[in-house]
């Protein structure tokens, strides 16, 4: 019902928060069709979902969020290449050295490094494992 009300007036921007959670497969496909129609008509649709299949089918670009931080952004195919690889996760015992560790990893791997307290994470994608062992 909320989605139907949102569609009245052909909005320029539409925010959908997990619109297919709890729906049966047929209704889920109908929602997907409605979202595709809106996008084809020029609407911008911002959609949150925990279903990777849904994001893959509906999104031009996907942002992956972990603990409130964006850890990756790209097209579905770009993210599949990145996430399909390894993830570096490093716990830094000394909180005063976290930013130094982040800078070193970013310089050597030329990848964005996310910081959450004392934990550093980086999506390695196709980076060779030998390069990672050099950093460590």
Give me the phi and psi of 73, to 5 degrees please: -150, 130
pLDDT in tens, 58-89: 999 999 888 888 888 899 888 877 666 677 88
Quote the CA–CA distance of 91 and 43 in Å, as a whole number: 42
Superfamily (CATH) of domain 1-60? P-loop containing nucleotide triphosphate hydrolases (3.40.50.300)
pLDDT above 80 (res 48)? yes
Quote the CA–CA distance of 54 and 52 in Å, as a whole number: 5
What pLDDT sits at residue 131? 67
Percent of residues, the chain, with pLDDT higher than 70: 83
What value does the mean pLDDT of the chain take? 84
pLDDT above 70 (res 134)? no
Least confident among 34-43, 92-101, 106-115: 106-115
Burial class from Cβ neighbours inside 10 Å (0-12, 13-18, 19+) for residue 105 reads: buried
Regarding predicted confidence, which is higher, 125 or 53? 53
Q: How confident is the model at residue 99 (pLDDT cuts 50, 70, 90)?
A: very high
- pTM, whole model, 2 decimals? 0.57
User: What is the chain's Cα-based Rg?
Assistant: 19
């Amino acid at each position: 019902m909320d989605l139907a009300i949102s569609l009245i007036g052909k909005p320029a921007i539409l925010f959908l928060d997990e619109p297919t959670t709890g729906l049966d497969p047929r209704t889920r496909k109908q929602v997907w069709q409605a979202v595709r129609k809106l996008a084809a008509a020029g609407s911008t649709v911002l959609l949150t979902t925990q279903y990777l299949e849904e994001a893959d089918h509906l999104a031009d670009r996907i942002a992956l969020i972990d603990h409130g931080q964006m850890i990756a952004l790209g097209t579905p195919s770009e993210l599949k290449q990145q996430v399909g690889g390894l993830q570096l996760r490093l716990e830094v015992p000394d909180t005063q050295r976290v930013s130094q560790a982040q800078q070193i990893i970013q310089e050597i791997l030329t990848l964005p490094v996310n910081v959450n307290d004392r934990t550093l994470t980086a999506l390695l994608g196709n980076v060779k494992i030998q390069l990672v062992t050099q950093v460590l």
